[in-house]
C-alpha cells in the first residue's frame, strides 16, 4: 500500500483531470447515449449552459452537486489507476 502513494499529490491531480477530460470528450461524442453519468451535461450545467441532451440519470437521482461529486470521485479513481498503469508500463520497459 505504501508504493501506491509514493507519488506527489499533483501527479494524481493531473491524472484525475486527464481522466475527466477524456470522459468529457467521450460523453460529447456519445451524446444522449451516455445517459447514466454524462460528464458533458454536468460540466455544462455547472457553467450555466443548457444542452439539448437533457439531464443524465445521475443529475436526476442526486442533483447537480451529487452528480459532480460522483463524477470527480470516479475520475480520481481512474486517474490513480492511470498512474499505476503508466508506472507498470515503465517498469516493464526497464526490466
Average pLDDT on 29-43 reads 88
Residue 31 has pLDDT above 90, yes or no: no
Q: What pLDDT is attached to residue 26?
A: 93
The 10s digit of each residue's pLDDT in 69-95 is: 999 999 999 999 998 899 899 999 988
Total structural domains within the chain? 1
Q: What pLDDT is attached to residue 55?
A: 86
Q: Is residue 22 part of a domain?
A: yes
Q: Kindly report the backbone phi and psi dihedral angles of residue 56, in degrees, each rounded to the nearest multiple of 5, phi listed first.
A: -80, 170
Q: Is residue 46 part of a domain?
A: yes
Q: Is residue 3 part of a domain?
A: no
Judge contact between 55 and 35, C-beta under 8 A: no
Q: Is residue 45 part of a domain?
A: yes
Domain of 38 in residue numbering reads as 11-94
Q: Is residue 1 part of a domain?
A: no
Whose cell is 461524442? That residue is: 29
Q: Is residue 2 part of a domain?
A: no
What is the value of pTM for the model shown? Answer: 0.80
Amino acid at each position: 500500500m505504501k508504493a501506491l502513494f509514493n507519488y506527489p499529490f499533483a501527479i494524481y491531480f493531473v491524472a484525475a483531470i486527464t481522466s475527466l477530460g477524456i470522459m468529457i470528450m467521450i460523453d460529447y461524442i456519445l451524446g444522449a447515449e451516455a445517459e447514466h453519468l454524462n460528464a458533458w451535461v454536468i460540466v455544462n450545467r455547472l457553467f450555466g449552459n443548457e444542452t439539448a441532451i437533457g439531464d443524465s440519470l445521475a443529475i436526476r437521482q442526486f442533483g447537480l452537486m451529487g452528480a459532480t461529486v460522483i463524477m470527480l470521485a470516479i475520475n480520481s479513481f481512474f486517474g490513480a489507476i492511470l498512474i499505476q498503469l503508466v508506472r507498470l508500463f515503465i517498469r516493464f520497459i526497464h526490466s
